Amino acid sequence: MPASTVAPMTEQEFRRFYDETAAPLHAYLARAGGDASVADDVLQSAYLRFLEAPGRSADVRARRAYLFRIATNLLRDRHRREAGLARRARQAAVEPGRAGPGPDRVAEREGVSIEARLEVRNVLDELGARERELLWLAYVVGMDHREIAAIVGVASGSVKVLLLRARRRMAAKLEARGVGPEDLA
Amino acid sequence: MKGCPWEDRVEAAVNDARLDADVGTHLEDCADCRALAATIRALRIDGEAAERGAAARLPDAGVIFAEFGTRTESRPAGDRAAAAVHDALRAVVMVEVIAAAVAAFVTLGAAAWGIRRLGSVAGLDFERLFQFGNGGGGNGEFGGTALVAAAAVILIAALQGVLGLRLDSGSDSAGL
């Protein structure tokens, strides 16, 4: 629970916070949870819980970390309830074309082939849920180890080692699929 | 598990998209750091793609805020009722724990007394048959019976405690 608390958010404050966090949170939920429609549901619930939470911090980074923590817990609760359904949905989510044309154009612009990017996504789906959460929060959202520890529910000192293991597993899986550093450079 | 000593520097450089000459030279020599840089870059590209894909699916912030307002207005009466039910259930569980512990102790004590009484009436030496302790009779059986009774009470209390905790954690964990 954050240490310092503030008065409830006004709609304007919420809109500003939402504009900054909604897309990264949805992307995180879609990749960590394996399905964009799950992300749609969890995202709205996460913001409602966030608004209802009495102990929000005034610090922007702490607020963001708190929101991601709520969302991660909601995602895990949902997966516990619908484990079988979520597995099937994750398999469906790796089908080519699910993400729409925009992301693929980004990959091409970045000099990474569509095939390599799809392999990256497939490899992410093969990793454990916690590994996906760790990698995404560290390298996509850009959170520090203390924030990640609070969100994922591990000791702060363990994050570095867990990240190292997750990176190595991901790199090994990419290599096994024939995607080397040169394909992603 | 230890990685290359340059990993933190490489990680920071890739995260900031600023590869200085030293890092560049190191990346040419170190396969681990090359893989690290490539993995981070792949994740960031996938992240950017996922965020672009998310933009079209996001609900309007106003819709969520309005939903929050609706919930807040209808909350007080419902919250009070839920809190009252929760408190009542906690009291029931506590009474159940105490009653179960007392009942177990009394039942086991009565059983031990009954067996010894039956033995003395029937002329059977139950004390020798069921003795636990030092083999010398006397306080050995009583100590053994008391030990079993205490263990049973603790076990029952623990089971009740688990049930109580389950009752407390009935709502999901997302509320923190």
Query: pLDDT grade, residue A100 (50/70/90)?
Result: very low
ipTM of the complex: 0.73
**Per-residue pLDDT at B160:** 65
The whole-number average pLDDT for the span B66-70 is 88
CB contact under 8 A, A120 and B49: no
Using only C-alpha atoms, what is the Rg of chain A? 17
Each residue's pLDDT tens digit, A1-57: 444 456 778 899 999 999 999 999 999 999 888 788 889 989 999 999 999 875 667
Q: What is the pTM of this model?
A: 0.62
Question: Cα separations (Å) of B68 from B55, B75, B86?
Answer: 22, 10, 24
Query: pLDDT grade, residue A183 (50/70/90)?
Result: low
Q: What is the mean pLDDT of chain B?
A: 75
Each residue's pLDDT tens digit, A126-175: 898 899 999 999 999 989 999 999 999 999 899 999 998 998 898 888 88
Q: Which residues contact residue A100 at a Cβ distance below 8 angstroms, ignoring those fewer than 6 apart?
A: B53, B56
Measured distance CA(A106)–CA(B45) in Å, rounded: 8
Has residue A102 got a pLDDT over 60? no
Number of Cβ within a 10 Å radius of residue A111: 11
Q: Where in chain A is the domain with CATH 1.10.10.10?
A: 106-185
**Per-residue pLDDT at A107:** 46
Residue contacts between A and B (CB atoms, under 8 Å):
167
**Higher-confidence position of B156 and B138:** B156
b/e per residue A78-92 (b: at least 16 CB within 10 A): bbeeeeeebeebbee
Residues of B in contact with A52 (CB under 8 A): 68, 71-72
Each residue's pLDDT tens digit, B87-117: 788 888 888 888 887 887 788 888 878 877 7
Closest residue in chain B to residue A141, using alpha carbons only: B47
Each residue's pLDDT tens digit, B19-59: 788 888 898 888 888 888 888 888 888 888 889 888 888 99
- The H helix count followed by the E strand count for chain A is 10, 0
**Per-residue pLDDT at A50:** 92
**Higher-confidence position of A72 and A95:** A72
User: Cα-Cα-Cα-Cα dihedral of A91, A97, A100, A101, to 10°?
Assistant: 150
Q: State the best of B46, B48, B57, B75 to mutate against chain A, taking most chain A CBs within 10 Å.
A: B46
> Could you give the angle at which helices B31-55 and A114-126 cross, rounded to 10 degrees?
90
Residues of B in contact with A183 (CB under 8 A): 38
Measured distance CA(B167)–CA(B57) in Å, rounded: 37
**Per-residue pLDDT at A158:** 93
**Per-residue pLDDT at A3:** 45
3-state secondary structure chain B: CCCCCCHHHHHHHHHCCCCCHHHHHHHHHCHHHHHHHHHHHHHHHHHHHHHHHHHCCCCCHHHHHHHHHHHHHHHHHHHHHHHHHHHHHHHHHHHHHHHHHHHHHHHHHHHHHHHHHHHHHHCCCHHHHHCCCCCCCCHHHHHHHHHHHHHHHHHHHHHHHHHHHHHHCCCCHHHC
**Per-residue pLDDT at A97:** 45
Q: State the smallest CA–CA distance between residue B56 and chain A in angstroms.
A: 9
Measured distance CA(A131)–CA(A128) in Å, rounded: 5
CB contact under 8 A, B64 and A161: no
CATH topology of domain A106-185: Arc Repressor Mutant, subunit A (1.10.10)
**Per-residue pLDDT at A10:** 87
CB contact under 8 A, A171 and B36: yes
